[in-house]
Amino acid sequence: FGALAPHVQHSCQSITKSYAGTLAAALVHEGILDDRKTISQFVPELRGTGWEDATLRQVMDMQTNVAFTEDYTSVDKSYRCEYLRTIRKEGAHGKFVYKGVDTNVMAWVMSRATGRSFAQLLEERLWLPLGCEEDAYVEIDPTNGMPRAHSGLNVTLRDLARFGELMRCEGSCNGKQLVPASVVYDLQDLDHPAKPDLPFGYTYRSQWWVSHDELDAIEGRGLYGQNLYIAPKAEMVIARFGSHPACDHIDRIRRPQMQALGRMLRA
């Protein structure tokens, strides 16, 4: 556990997105959300913004084209409702561009459709049913209480690993289906068009990084060294916290290490 203790929470950073995307995908499977509908059909307050004609699926997969640049050196406003309403469209939607504003729009849609915040959905649908050891906490917008769905979750390492094990087991925990298995299968669908220019052939689906390799690995990852690496074919889950001094993911070092370990376990 390094400088931490087993029962101390740590920031997940953008692994938070993978929790949020899993919840959204489950709501789509259940028919509570329709990912073919546009964002303005769910949240009228976003009419006239860059998301007005974007579909929920495009938001879930970060395929919107809005006037926003991910900048880790400036003050983060991407989770504030009043700020989201100022962002305009730059061109046709459909191409992958990584940006946390899409995650927060997705969380707004979930809240509007269910009457529950991202934090409440997380607690009711995942945290309590998983039997997590410790409380988690989610950072919020101080002006309106909206949770930071793109980076605000803080958990213990063991509880992070529990979520990874849930996804490795196709959404099942102790004989109960907490997440529809179809949500996990959907991540591995090779026909998904989101193909960012990334090493290792990764794609992006429902806020998860997807390898499409022989391990069927999926990954949640966050700034400063956070990883949740799930390799079903190797029966392996790696949960990792870090406190790197720079915001680089250092993907070229960690990911080959995790993949190599998965290949050893599968052999």
Residue 3: the pLDDT is 74
Q: Residue 194 corresponds to which tokens in the numbers above?
A: 């989101």
Q: What is the sign of the dihedral through the CA atoms of 163, 168, 171 and 172?
A: negative
Q: 203 is written with which tokens?
A: 């794609």
What is the per-residue pLDDT across 21-79, written as a single tens digit (0 to 9) for each? Answer: 999 999 999 999 999 999 999 999 999 999 999 999 999 999 999 999 887 666 566 66
Q: How far apart are CA 23 and CA 264, in angstroms?
A: 32
At residue 127, the pLDDT reads 98
Ramachandran category for residue 139: left, alpha or beta (phi over 0 → left; psi -120 to 50 → alpha):
beta
Low-confidence residues in the chain, pLDDT < 70 = 1-2, 72-79, 190-199, 247-251
User: What pLDDT, in 10s, does the model give residues 217-230?
Assistant: 999 999 888 999 99
Residue with the two structure tokens 């504003």: 101
Domain boundaries, the chain: 10-266
Q: Residue 229 pairs with which residues in a beta bridge? A: 219, 238
Q: Which residues of 167-195 are buried (b: 16+ CB within 10 A; e: fewer)?
A: bbbebebeeeebbbeebbebbeeeebebe
Is the pTM here over 0.75, yes or no? yes
Tokens of 126: 């995942």
Largest CA distance in the chain: 54
Task: Dig out the tokens for 74 from the structure.
Answer: 């400036």
Does the domain made of 10-266 have the CATH classification 3.90.50.10?
A: no
Instruction: Please give the backbone phi and psi of residue 83, each rounded to the nearest 5 degrees, phi first.
Output: -75, -40
d(CA 205, CA 189): 9
